[in-house]
Amino acid sequence: MYDVIVAGAGPQGTLASFFCAQKGLKTLLLERGRVPGEKCTQAMEIGERRRTGEPPVTELFNEVIKEIPHLSSPFSQRFAKHYVDENNEVIYSYSFKVPQRQRKLYSFNISDLVKGFADKAVEAGVELRTSTATVDLLWKNQKVSGIITDRGEEIPAHITIAADGFISTLARKAGLVNQRSLNEVVYGYSETFVMQKKEWENTLDGTRHTFLGPTVAPRSSPIVTHPSWNEDTYYIQICVLSLLPQLRHNPKWYMENLKRVKTVKTLLKPAQGFPDKPLQTSATTFTPTRPLKKMYTDGLLVIGDAAGIPGVTAPASFYAAELTAMAIKTGDCTETMLKNYQKRFEESRHGKLIRRKAIAGRVAGRARMDLPADKKVRNMYLSGYNFKPFIRYPRSCEAAIKLLSWYHAYRPIIHEQTSEFLEWLKKNWESYEKNRTFTTEQ
């Protein structure tokens, strides 16, 4: 009998299994793909200061990232934002440079990272079983006592850790997932192209472009660069991000419009297969700021996207592993013991950050009021959480960054008045350039 079963070899599942095995537990890691990381859709950027994780998580991350292709420098030196009108024409753009010494951002493919984590986990003594989906929980005396696979096999364990992604069969079967508010679900559709490094240097060259506008993205459309195992090429991913209720057309419609924007055409012209034959298309849903109300039950812990705690190095996996070890040591796998996991998470830096964001999302409703644009922005200011970018920006552009970040965050709410807002921004931008302050803020 296993001490612990981890369902799902994503970033946090592999991490949790690694830490369990490290603590000497007999651990089984289950993955429905043929190899770990096969079902991971997103490529990812991580700022160094974002790694709010516990030291062991950060250490492992540092160790793994050495061995996989990743980009740090000279990546994301510049950020560019383009506002696009109804005719797919860029009406307003701005960009800013992040000072070299203040920036450290990593970019990599999550599947590569997960494979690295999984290798470390197997080394530490985890038993990995792939091509195995978990379809149900095994119950004994109204306590979770293991899982049932898609082949009908029953595998008992003292503790089950559910890390089976946003749709989480296990968390649903345990009755932990309530009706999810769609306003908190982010939908992402993306297409990946390959570009030669030389050509990349002439076009994108470390700038992160984001497109905003009613026809190209309900929320935002970034173009992101990721490394490949071949040193001469990069993967370019264009994404359409949206909150689920804001998706008024098919994601492909937005993507087609985005590809019609002149700036996008120029930037991606050298990419192989652009615009019609992407190397890969992918779609995903996740919830960035709404952890489950209850992330545990007798014999079960929920981590990762399943628990509403996304993030490749989120420390929840470490807390879950620590608590599992303690529970098995004491022989007490009941709720009373396991609730300490949630407590620990909520008290952690990451937990507090997520909570702050969740509150901000709720109070953002204030910005919904029927007001002229400048008042609306003021409301956004009042209701916004204290935005702290993970990169230190020069003081001179701090106010602009803050405002635009808020605009970015609450964009779906003021979507209908986009042009109104843009006019306001344009008008005030001049005064900002002159006096380094927005007029409405005086």
* Contacting residues toward another protein, per CB under 8 A: 32-34, 37-43, 109-111, 130-133, 135, 149-151, 166-167, 169, 180, 182, 185, 187, 189, 191-192, 226, 228, 235, 237, 244, 247-252, 277-285
Nearer to another protein, 245 or 270 (CB): 245
Nearer to another protein, 5 or 325 (CB): 5
As measured in angstroms, the least distance from the Cβ of 391 to another protein is: 25
Nearer to another protein, 78 or 172 (CB): 172
As measured in angstroms, the least distance from the Cβ of 46 to another protein is: 15
As measured in angstroms, the least distance from the Cβ of 374 to another protein is: 34
**Amino acid identity, position 281:** T
As measured in angstroms, the least distance from the Cβ of 289 to another protein is: 16
As measured in angstroms, the least distance from the Cβ of 5 to another protein is: 15
As measured in angstroms, the least distance from the Cβ of 40 to another protein is: 4
Nearer to another protein, 15 or 321 (CB): 15
CA nearest to 1, candidates 25, 19, 18, 32: 25
Nearer to another protein, 180 or 362 (CB): 180
Nearer to another protein, 283 or 382 (CB): 283
Nearer to another protein, 39 or 82 (CB): 39
As measured in angstroms, the least distance from the Cβ of 105 to another protein is: 19
As measured in angstroms, the least distance from the Cβ of 139 to another protein is: 20
Nearer to another protein, 32 or 208 (CB): 32
